[in-house]
A and B are shown apart, each in its own frame.
Chain A
Amino acid sequence: MSSNIYRHEFRARLGSVLIWSLGLAFLIVFFFSLFPVFADQAALMNEFLARYPQQLRAAFGLDNMDLASVLGFYSFILLFAELCLAIQAGNYGFGLVSIEEAELTADFLLSKPVSRTRVLTSKLLAALTSLAVTDLVVWVSTLAAIFLFREGREFDRPTLLLLLVSLVIFQLFFLSVGLVISLLVRRVRSVTPYSLGLGFGAYALSAFSGVFGEVALELITPFKHLDPAYIVRHAAYDTPLVLLNVAVTLVSLAVSYWLYVRRDIPAVS
């Protein structure tokens, strides 16, 4: 790892990290502040729902959503936080090396006496640090929100830990998939359309598979690999899907290294 590259990359992202973190903290605290009112309504609904057949509830993904409980409600708003995290991680992944080519600084960087592997490792570590900072803020604001607004309702602490850790796996997926896609295409002109497409695409897919109970969609979208509702209900990960998710991440990373070392970099003319 080259500490110069690492420091430069981390600093370049500092503003973005700050904005995303503050936005996420606000989102979580604000939505969770609605919990006390919502919980009473949801308790009524649970009674209603119990009268309907299980298959029907499953079709709407309602049988594993208990909005009257702390973690049930948290897993509901976590979906929105995940959407933000996906776009942020996607941004960093898509932009990690493609930004050098777009801004015509790639040949400058690669003429430094540092191997490409080391360049990529330093950049990846800087991006990981940025994501970790965001995670820290999300964790702290989650704990703050829960202790402020739970109104004496109990919740399962190990499950909350599982939920919070799942965010890291989730981010890594979008970071590495973004990176490998940016290396597979010939040129990334602008990062945002790609990361928005990936983030919102995965989000819409998971929303549909929730409403319509489709099985096959679960395999494609990370929102289902680490479905908060599933984690809360079973107090465990859906192991095969999480393994699939991690495998995709690792393969993307390996392929990224392979591609980047061999990449043809256009020089500035």
Chain B
Amino acid sequence: MNIFIHELKSNLKSLLIWGVIVVVLIVMAVSKFSAFAGDPELLGMLDSMPPGLLEALNMRAFNLTTLSGFYGVMFIYFGLMGAIAAAMWGSGIISKEERDKTVEFSLVLPVTRGRVVTAKALAALVNCGAFVLITWAGSLVAVRSYNPDQAFYSFLALEMQAMLAIELIFLALGLLLGCAMKQYKLSGSIAVGIILVTYFVSIASVMQENLDFLKYFTPFRYFDAGELFRNGRMDGTYLLLSAAIIVVCVVGAYMAYGRRDLYI
């Protein structure tokens, strides 16, 4: 419990910074949405563009002139930010002890290593949840002036659940990296590598049809905003896949940290 509270406190500043960034992004984007709300000519142009390009610009399947369509386009940025934040929190919360030379101190406390990981993981989880709530609340406030209908609110709720799912995947990955990597510097670098690679893979997988199979390798495609919008729910296969990734990573993290040699 003490570790949990300590970690919450020391991550508060980082959470606040991320919160401010996402709110600024939302306010900026929504204020620009006014420029083309309800413009029929724009709709015609979007319809005539080839799907490959729209995919590359993350604009497929959306009627940009409605608020829901606009938020569909925004989703990839929420997902990206959530992924970066979660991966950094997950890997940092474990590896910072070695970086700051405090690991001997925290591991001589009368708690098992497993409980240390649990407390830290829970603190990072709370951060991820709070980040989604900040995004959600910021969106609700920002779109008020457009008087959105009920459909938009339920779509927003769905998007936020998907964002949380993406965050959880990357949080679990980050935790595994933080626990398993001998050198603390490596865990952050590898997390960056994974984020960049999965993001580029998600772009490549939509640019060409015969690369479509790549979608199983990138969490950014598991929760495609267009699919969410059409189906009104998250795809079961991908939810299972995400859950599997998360479970494997978390179990791996506990196993690795339990028997790991410390880097001092």
Contacts and interface: CB of A to CB of B under 8 A. Distances in A.
Nearest to B84: A196
Contact of A42 (B53, B189, B203): B53
Interface in B15-65: 21, 25, 28-29, 32, 35-36, 41-42, 44-45, 48-50, 52-53, 56-57
Given A27-B200, A192-B88, A45 B100 contact: no
Contact of B36 (A53, A59, A87, A197): A59
Contacts, number: 98
B14 A193 contact: yes
Given A45-B49, A189-B100, A53 B88 contact: no
Given A193-B88, A196-B84, A200-B80, A84 B196 contact: yes
B45 A45 contact: no
Given A45-B50, A45-B53, A192 B192 contact: yes
A38 B189 contact: no
B96 interface: yes
Interface in A91-149: 102, 104
Interface in B79-122: 80-81, 84, 88, 92, 96, 99-101
Interface bin, chain A: 35 or more
A87 B92 CA distance: 18
Interface stretch (A158-166, A208-216, A229-237, A253-261): A208-216
Nearest to B21: A201
Interface in A8-43: 16, 19, 23, 27, 30-31, 34, 37-38, 41-42
B200 A80 contact: yes
Contact of B208 (A37, A104, A193): A37
Interface bin, chain B: 35 or more
Contacts of A87: 192, 196
Chain B CB count within 10 A is highest, among A57, A87, A204, for A204
A42 B50 contact: yes
Contacts of B52: 38, 41
Chain B CB count within 10 A is highest, among A19, A76, A193, for A193
A208 B28 contact: yes
A45 B54 CA distance: 11
Q: Is the interface of A mostly helix, strand, loop or mixed?
A: helix
B191 interface: yes
A196 B200 contact: no
Contact of B204 (A34, A52, A53, A204): A34
A102 B99 contact: yes
Contacts of A208: 25, 28-29, 32
A229 to B, nearest CB: 13
Contact of A211 (B21, B25, B57): B57
A38 B188 contact: no
A57 B53 CA distance: 14
B207 interface: yes
A34 B208 contact: yes
A56 B42 contact: yes
A23 B204 CA distance: 15
A204 B35 contact: no
A190 interface: yes
B136 interface: no
Given A59-B35, A190-B92, A30 B41 contact: no
A197 B80 CA distance: 11
Given A80-B200, A189-B99, A214 B32 contact: yes
A196 B35 contact: no
Interface of B: 14, 21, 25, 28-29, 32, 35-36, 41-42, 44-45, 48-50, 52-53, 56-57, 73, 77, 80-81, 84, 88, 92, 96, 99-101, 188-189, 191-193, 195-197, 200, 203-204, 207-208
The 9 closest A-B pairs by CB, nearest first: A192-B188, A212-B32, A48-B48, A52-B45, A41-B50, A45-B50, A193-B88, A34-B208, A196-B84
10 contacts: A19-B193, A34-B204, A44-B50, A51-B48, A52-B45, A56-B42, A60-B57, A87-B192, A190-B96, A196-B195
